[in-house]
Amino acid sequence: MSGLLGSIAGPHDVKRLAAEELPRLAGEIRDLLVDSCARFGGHLGPNLGVVELTIALHRVFDSPRDPIVWDTGHQSYVHKVLTGRAGGFDALKQEGGLSGYPSQAESEHDFVENSHASTALSYADGLAKAFKLRGERDRTAVAVIGDGALTGGMAWEALNNIAAVKDLPVVIVVNDNGRSYSPTIGGLASHLSSLRVNRRYEDFLDYVKDKIGNVPVLYDALHGVKKGVKDVLAPQVMFEDLGLKYVGPIDGHDEQAMEAALRKARGFRGPVIVHALTQKGRGYTPAENHDEDQFHSPGAFDRATGAEKPKGRIWTNVFSEELVRLGKEREDLVAITAAMLHPTGLNAFAEHFPERIYDVGIAEQHALTSAAGLALGGLHPVVAVYATFLNRAFDQLLMDVALHRLPVTVVLDRAGVTGDDGASHNGMWDLSILQVVPGLRIAVPRDGDRLAELLREAVEVTDGPTVLRFPKGPVAGSVEAVGKLGEMDVLLTPAAEPDVLLVGVGPMAQVCLDAAALLDAQGIAATVVDPRWVKPLDEALAPAAAVHKLVAVVEDNGRVGGVGDAVARLLRDAEVDVPVRTFGIPQEFLDHAKRAAILGRVGLTGQDLARRITEAVARRTSSAAEPARR
């Protein structure tokens, strides 16, 4: 790698650069980020906005001795560059290449593999307390948190605790660009927005220092009433009322100003907030002018124009269109997003029904309990989140929604294997953790037609919550049923006496059909069913299983506690003594790769299933024949 970037093997090399070289370094970093994301996609906008800020961090602090925790981790690309990984951006987010988030496996500079928002301050609180107890007085915990992540309640729980320890060595950098995916919303956003545009307080302080700096008594008197001045001129008093020293607002693209502010904060040896104003997408015109999300996370795009390569029709499009149709039919339907209006497809609903959409910020817990309140008030809320983020609101779904048997529909986008964004974004937990929720119904569509159909059924439920989940990527082609088994769809009935009952959960139904064709070539007859609703399971499944030699459940979810376990329990309760095999995702954190590659790696392909089922049938047939040979 040429240029200044070629000389950066770690933070020590960043520190030795002269101040006049830093703008050139920033430009080279931006070129690298744009080139890499144009090829592979990635979180471009957030990282373009933190280039100077990150350079300043690594010139002031001593990573990894001073840990830098990013909230969220998608804004850590520049950090990766400055910690010796610039050469890895030629395979960003590709299998075996750099992760799109911090990764302990990649570098000692990555303390936390975080991609769920509002957690960095809690990590920093714990790290700083550990340093203090261990007597490591020269270490500082640094947390970089966006104004979007500050809308999450956990961040404020952490702030409350950090402020309680006056000598806790924590520096909190608020990266304030006014956006999460889209513009940050809510009272906090308005509060920070007023700070961005109000320079009167800073001007006033400069005036006082210039005019009376040599008159200590008078200056001290004015200093004593500064809180009153701040109340009138600037709302940063909010932070200082918590007991946190406040520095800013600082131009986050002025590297020298950022350095000065961070050095001041580090020298305080107590909790300090450094408020940096940045521009998402800085330095790349298509990103700066992109109204929707400033290229928050584009797919591959044309570097010259910024035009994204066509994605085709995806599952989210089908949900989005059907929800608008339902909204026109039902005035009681409302929608909630947790700072992900466009990614979850709720933007179309918002355009048609602006008074019936609520963006709660990065606050999934609040989203679910607010939905409970809306349902108690006579409405039917639809809460759309990525499947991985539902984990954060499990208690609210369980105790605030389900306990009261409220009609709330939760729509889980990017369920199952998502791939590129790594372990924390795979939505492989929901079918397991949701099994324990009383009265909850779960629908899993196999294709776009079933998604629309099941969404309609879900919002018709009035006596409890419903969940609808679907994967990331292109929507599956329509797979029509050839019959019904109770309320389940039968997708294939063999001509011969059936050997295996394949239960395909959602998109795995097509995988089961692929496997059935291969099994047929081996002389093994398979029935394929799609449950449609996997909780509760249709009781017709038990007598159907009884006329088969083996039941195989295939799901895009962790194997432990998922649909396979529920099917086995149903058969046990019905005293149907047919073995059940579960094919799903191993209960482990998966490295990033394309969805298809991961499904192949974990054996969720038609060929893998056919091979393993053939072996299972052969073992069972051999075991059954053994007594006769004796």
Q: pLDDT tens for residues 171-223?
A: 999 998 865 444 554 444 444 544 444 444 445 445 444 544 444 444 344 34
Q: 441 - beta bridge partners?
A: 466
Alpha-carbon distance 352 to 327, whole Å? 8
Helix (H, G, I), strand (E, B) or coil at 157: helix
pLDDT per residue over 307-350, tens digit each? 888 778 999 999 999 999 999 999 999 999 998 899 999 999 99
- Please give the annotated binding residues for thiamine diphosphate, written as ranges: 74, 115-117, 148-149, 177, 284, 364
- Please give the annotated binding residues, written as ranges: 74, 115-117, 147-149, 177, 284, 364
Choice among 85, 392, 450, 469 that is catalytic: 392
| The residue to which tokens 């629309």 are assigned | 452
* Residue 364 known to be catalytic: yes
- How confident is the model at residue 630, as a pLDDT? 44
- Please give the annotated binding residues for Mg(2+), written as ranges: 147, 177
* Residue 179 known to be catalytic: no
* Residue 280 known to be catalytic: yes
Query: How many Cα atoms within 13 Å fall on the side-chain side of residue 98?
Result: 29
Q: Is the pLDDT of residue 91 over 90?
A: no
Choice among 364, 472, 532, 555 that is catalytic: 364
What band does 304 get if pLDDT is binned at 50, 70 and 90? confident
What is residue 75's DSSP assignment? G
Q: Which of 281, 285, 280, 282 is nearest to 306 (CA)?
A: 285
Helix (H, G, I), strand (E, B) or coil at 483: strand
Alpha-carbon distance 452 to 472, whole Å? 16
Choice among 59, 245, 280, 356 that is catalytic: 280
Question: Residue 33 belongs to what H/E stretch?
Answer: helix 22-40
pLDDT per residue over 436-485, tens digit each? 999 999 999 999 999 999 999 999 999 999 999 999 989 988 999 999 99
Instruction: Fill in the amino acid letter for 76.
Output: S
